[in-house]
Amino acid sequence: MQTRDALKRALDLGLDLVEVSPTAKPPVCRIMDFGKFKYEQEKKKKEQKKHQVQTKLKEVKFHVNVEEHDYETKMRNLIKFIEHGDRVKVSLMFRGRENAHRELGFEVIQRVIQDTVEITSVDQAPRLQGRFVTAILVPKKKKA
């Protein structure tokens, strides 16, 4: 069909002539309500966004000389974050003379990893960054 004939038909119907495939020989066009089409596309995008899950990076901070009760409280929070599906950054800060015994800090981080081995996997191994030792834990994939 000629372009002018298609355009005339679209105007008679009160619709728009929309080019669907400009690279085809001859180009493919369609008679439709373009405003309604754009609205439906936008609605589909919003629906897809609503169903997508966004993971966040949460942080749990420890110190070298963490007491048992504090450790347990922080572990409860860490497990809650993991069960929610978030990634968790475990960080440990050295203060003052604690820098002289960095192996103690790595032991605390290793203990955290060992205590959560059933529900997490290590995304980033513990490493030293200035006065901090950091590791990133992610939830393990659930078997269906």
What number of other Cβ atoms are within 10 A of residue 88's Cβ?
Answer: 26
Residue identified by tokens 């604690």 is 98
Q: What is the mean pLDDT of the chain?
A: 89
pTM of the complete model: 0.61
Q: Where in the chain is the domain with CATH 3.10.20.80?
A: 3-50
- Report residue 43 CA to chain centroid gap: 22
Do residues 27 and 19 make contact, with C-beta atoms less than 8 angstroms apart? yes
Q: Which candidate, 144, 125, 139, places its Cα nearest to that of 53? A: 139
pLDDT over 90 at 20, yes or no: no
State which amino acid sits at residue 136.
I
Q: Where in the chain is the domain with CATH 3.30.110.10?
A: 57-139
Fold of 57-139: Translation Initiation Factor IF3 (3.30.110)
What angle, rounded to 10 degrees, do the helices at 102-115 and 68-84 form?
Answer: 50
Residue identified by tokens 């355009």 is 7
CATH of domain 3-50: 3.10.20.80
Instruction: Give the up-direction half-sphere exposure of residue 62: CA atoms within 13 A in the CB hemisphere.
Output: 32
C-alpha–C-alpha distance, residues 96 and 93, integer Å: 10
Q: What are the phi and psi torsion angles at 26 (to 5°)?
A: -70, 160
**pLDDT tens column, 33-88:** 989 989 999 999 998 888 777 778 999 999 998 999 999 999 999 999 999 889 99
- Report residue 102 CA to chain centroid gap: 32
